[in-house]
Amino acid sequence: MWGIIATWRMALEGVSESAPQLAAGSAASTAVVDAVAAVEDFPFYKSVGYGGLPTENGEVELDAAFMDGDTLAFGAVGNLIDIANPVRVAQALSRQRYNSLLVGQGAREWALEQGFSDKAMLTERAMQHYRKRCRETLDKGLSPYDGHDTVGIIGLDKQGSMSVATSTSGLFMKKRGRIGDSPIMGSGFYCDSETGAATATGVGEDLMKGCTSYEIVRRMAGGMTPQQAADSVVFELEDKLMSRFGRVGDLSVVCMNRHGEFGAATNIKTFTFVVATEKQPLTVYLAERHREQTCYQPVDEAWMQAYAARIRAPIEE
């Protein structure tokens, strides 16, 4: 059995290249890292890698992670500036015995020492978004944190190995130095080939309160289906935060077990994910919340076209 599942429609191109490779027997680690790197490289995805949206200081600080479900080795970077593919740096760190999570200047220096390319990650288009948001925030008092999306991809290969990788520019207009859940093992991602893997997207500050990805994997190990684990973790965390913290942000997750069965859960209106397995052709699903349960259906052609137009539309400044 092989399978791959990813947060958000933006993963489609990367997943469509990695899925046939998994079908042909290649390793889950390569499949997820290559698919995430494809999202990082695409300039029109404004929340990951090149073209990602900046901090309130106008700098692009990127977070990424990789975890190998066979060995439980992980590597992660936070606030990485101007390195082409943060996810590849994270994977390289997972091969080190120590220093698994590096941030800021130290992460950048290590990446350069290892031969990763220096690349200016702030694009003119991202700056247009930034200038527009600065003005809107001044005019209308908008929350600077609206708008975000992290790519998280889980792979299962024919040898039974699983891996997960994440990458994000984090929340738009975040403070310099702020790190979300995406490079934090157990919150933004977790993977154990003996059970399965999970990855999250949404407001990192809230996802971390539930150690969301670890908790999903733990529930799958306890016998829940991936869908039960995803729904129960997301909705219990939402209820808990509403009653004890008084508010809750966006929480969305995808997961897959070692048999290639998958689940997705969200507390928002439109969460998309991409999945392909030996049994299921490549599909983009639109997930919606129905009370304490997440339902999903494939997106239609009109949706895909509207999406393509939206991400490339000129930004009116």
> Amino acid letter at 179?
I
**Shortest distance, position 190 Cβ to ligand SD4, whole Å:** 14
Place of tokens 């995430």: 36
For residue 118, give both structure tokens: 């220096």
Sheet containing 3-7: order of strands = 101-103, 74-80, 62-68, 162-168, 151-156, 3-7, 271-277, 283-290, 293-298
Assess whether 7 carries a catalytic annotation.
Answer: no
Question: Nearest CA to 47 among 121, 132, 137, 134?
Answer: 121
Q: Give the binding site for ligand SD4 (CB under 6 A).
A: 148-150, 168, 170-171, 180-182, 201-204
**Shortest distance, position 199 Cβ to ligand SD4, whole Å:** 10
**Shortest distance, position 160 Cβ to ligand SD4, whole Å:** 29
Q: Active-site residue among 7, 55, 123, 150?
A: 150
Q: Which is nearer to ligand SD4, 94 or 150 (CB)?
A: 150
**Shortest distance, position 150 Cβ to ligand SD4, whole Å:** 3
Residues in the chain: 317
Q: Which is nearer to ligand SD4, 14 or 204 (CB)?
A: 204
Q: Which is nearer to ligand SD4, 27 or 233 (CB)?
A: 233
Q: Which is nearer to ligand SD4, 29 or 201 (CB)?
A: 201
Q: Compute the distance between CA of residue 220 and CA of residue 235 in angstroms, rounded to an integer.
A: 16
Catalytic residues: 150
